[in-house]
Amino acid sequence: MNEILLTILAGVPITLLLTAGALVVGVLGGIPLVAARQSRAAILRLPARATIELLRGIPPIVWLFIIFFGLGTYVRLDAMSAAAIGLGLISCAYLAEIYRGGLAAIAKGQWEASAALGMPRTATLTRVIGPQVGRVCIPAAASYAIGLLKDTSVAFTIGVTEILYWANDQSRETSDAFWPFVLAAVVYIVMTIPCAWAARALDASLRKRVAR
Amino acid sequence: MISLWTAIWIVPTLVCNRIQFDPDFPPEVPVSETKHLPGQTDRPSESAGAVRLTSLVKRFGDHVVVNDVSMDVAAGEVVAIIGPSGAGKSTLLRCINLLERPDSGIVDVAGIQFDAATPVSGKDLARLRRHVGMVFQSFNLFPHLTVLRNVALPQERVLGISRTEAEEKAIRLLDRVGLKDKAKQYPGRCSGGQQQRIAIARALALGPQIMLFDEPTSALDPELGLEVLAVMRELAAEGMTMAVVTHEMHFARDVSDHLVVMADGAILEEGDPDRIFTDPEQPRTRQFLRAVLDR
């Protein structure tokens, strides 16, 4: 039992790395995507909407197969990178939508005050609106991140050596189809619950500093 | 993969100018050059610091909110705009700094002229707004910044001065509105009256020639309104050009040099405040004044 657990724990760094990688791609990539999505120019807005729908409308596992097996036939791509790219792109779409909700939540007066003060557009976005949107988005982004942490388990299907990979490995090794997976479940829950607590605490402390 | 990334990252960046998060921000700024009317640059003439609105019309859909209004604010003058709600007072005021773009008419502010028929360049808009400060009913302070940063940040970004210089000036202005000790607080920790005084300091920090007040005390309980009105009285005494939309009849009567009464998108009558308060010409004005004064 101990040995099974230790083997499964070996997958934790990979799971965390994959989650963090995809999240970084999503948090950054979501910004230009929401910018295009909210653009006045249809030439940006429509492709951005299409991209978001496409990324969200196809299951992660299918994306990973397309990238790893499909693109993999043309480009050398290891499983970890393929998973990070796939989950990262999907995260871009989800975070863009979270940002969009955040933008809608910012009081119109913040834009008006910035305009009336004659603040340049970049300063308005980076110093006034952006920081507030960031704060509004924390709860939604945090629950997305927790979902993402769980979703990294699909990377097992393309051979990334994360938690589920080792659980499956141990299941075959020990011919036990129960305990390795239950232990994997415990490992996941031990990681996700504190994340949720932390997000809630962070949100509560930042909530007051946003005008909605 | 590379081309997908290019599409996601580069394209929006390139066309950053087209990005718009809020339908009203920025007010329509078409790309073409602004056509200046003859003799109208930053002329520092006797009308500097003054506002002249000519035949302004503003519609929201089919609804005409401001209907062919012309109005002047002379340099150093305090104009109070009163009238029932829905009269178009705030909209008229917001046309002065082009937060609302009039559908027709001419806005002439601090010697810069804008014709509703001609598109305004971002540069001209910035120039206009440097001359005009605005105070809102809902304060609109930046909640994520300290009081000090609220007053300093616009200076840094608009006037391009250093953080130290901006914060020194911010402290001076906060002192002037009696809130120096709140500098390190966040606006959420301040009362409404304090927030509004901070908003006034923030606007003054940019050295405007004209100050617009859009119902600055309407969101405050009467006692807190007084401290805001006191700051405004001081400002008026110092000779600031002010246009004030207000429901504070005492303020309108005592402080303003010129009173404008609006109803249904038009000016009912205007002139000396004392004269209008004691002997209004229009029955509609009399009806309005009786309603607000007899409560």
Q: pLDDT of A26-81, one tens digit each? A: 999 999 999 999 988 999 999 999 999 999 999 999 999 999 999 989 988 999 99
> Does a structural domain hold residue B110?
yes
Give me the pLDDT at residue A205, please: 79
- Retrieve residue A46's tokens: 């429509």
**pLDDT for residue B223:** 87
B245 DSSP β-pair partners: B81, B214
Q: Which of A201, A206, A119, A100 is nearest to B144 (CA)?
A: A206
Structural domain for B228, as ranges: 46-142+209-293
pLDDT of residue A111: 96
Looking at residue A198, its pLDDT comes to: 87
- Average pLDDT for B155-178: 96
Rounded to the nearest integer, the mean pLDDT of chain B is 85
pLDDT band at B11 (very low <50, low <70, confident <90, very high): very low
Helix axes B163-176, B147-154, angle to 10 degrees: 120
Tell me the shortest Cα–Cα distance from B192 to chain A, in angstroms: 14
Which residues of chain B are within 8 Å of residue A75 when distances are taken between CB atoms? 1
As for how many domains chain A has, the answer is: 1
pLDDT for residue B227: 93
Looking at per-residue pLDDT, the higher value among B3 and A84 belongs to A84
Is B163 within a domain?
no
Q: Show the tokens assigned to B122.
A: 């971002």
Band (pLDDT 50/70/90 cuts) for residue A150 is: very high
Pairwise CB contact (< 8 Å): B12 & A35: yes
CA distance B286 to B269: 11
Residues of A in contact with B153 (CB under 8 A): 123, 127
Distances A53 to A37, A56, A94, B40, B174 between C-alpha atoms, Å: 11, 5, 10, 51, 49
Using alpha carbons only, how large is chain A's radius of gyration in Å? 20
Query: How many whole angstroms separate alpha carbon B170 and alpha carbon A108?
Result: 25
pLDDT at position B47 over 60: no
Mutate to test the interface with A, among B19, B145, B204 (most CBs of A within 10 A): B19
Residue range of the domain that includes A139: 2-209
Test B140 with A113 for CB contact under 8 angstroms.
yes
Length of chain A: 212
Residue B288 lies in a domain: yes
d(CA B142, CA B140): 6
> Which of A53-67, B22-36, B123-137 is least confident?
B22-36
A103 band by pLDDT with thresholds 50, 70 and 90 = very high
Partner-chain residue, chosen from B22, B130, B144, that has the shortest CB–CB distance to A135: B144
For A173-183, what is each residue's pLDDT tens digit? Answer: 899 889 999 99
Work out the mean pLDDT of chain A and round it to a whole number: 92
- Residue B35 in domain: no
Tokens matching residue A29: 């990539």
Question: Are the CB atoms for A145 and A19 separated by under 8 Å?
Answer: yes
User: What's A45's domain CATH number?
Assistant: 1.10.3720.10
Task: Assign A211 a pLDDT band (cuts: 50, 70, 90).
Answer: low
Q: Please give the pLDDT value at position B45.
A: 43
Residues 6+ apart with CB under 8 A from A67: A77, A82, A85, A86
How much of chain B exceeds pLDDT 90, in percent? Answer: 75
CB contact under 8 A, A44 and B26: no
Residues of chain B with C-beta less than 8 angstroms from the C-beta of A132: 142-144
Distance CA A164, CA A7 (A): 11
Residue A144, pLDDT above cutoff 50: yes
**Number of domains composing chain B:** 1
The pLDDT value recorded for residue A3 is: 85
CA distance B272 to B256: 9
- The predicted pLDDT at position A199 comes to 86
Lowest mean pLDDT among A127-131, A203-207, B51-55, B265-269: A203-207
> What local confidence, expressed as pLDDT, does residue B236 receive?
95
Average pLDDT over residues B130-146: 95
pLDDT band with cut points at 50, 70 and 90 for residue B9: very low
Give the residue from B1, B4, B8, B158 with the most A CB atoms within 10 Å of its CB, the best one to mutate.
B8
pLDDT at B110 over 80: yes
Tokens coding B45: 């003439």
Q: Determine, yes or no, domain membership for B255.
A: yes
* Contact state of B140 with A71 under an 8 Å Cβ cutoff: no
Secondary structure element (H or E) that encloses residue B163, with its range: helix B163-176
Q: What is the CATH number of the domain that holds B63?
A: 3.40.50.300
d(CA B13, CA B279): 60
Q: What is the pLDDT of residue B59?
A: 95
pLDDT band at A208 (very low <50, low <70, confident <90, very high): low
Q: Which residues of A touch B9 (CB under 8 A)?
A: 29, 32
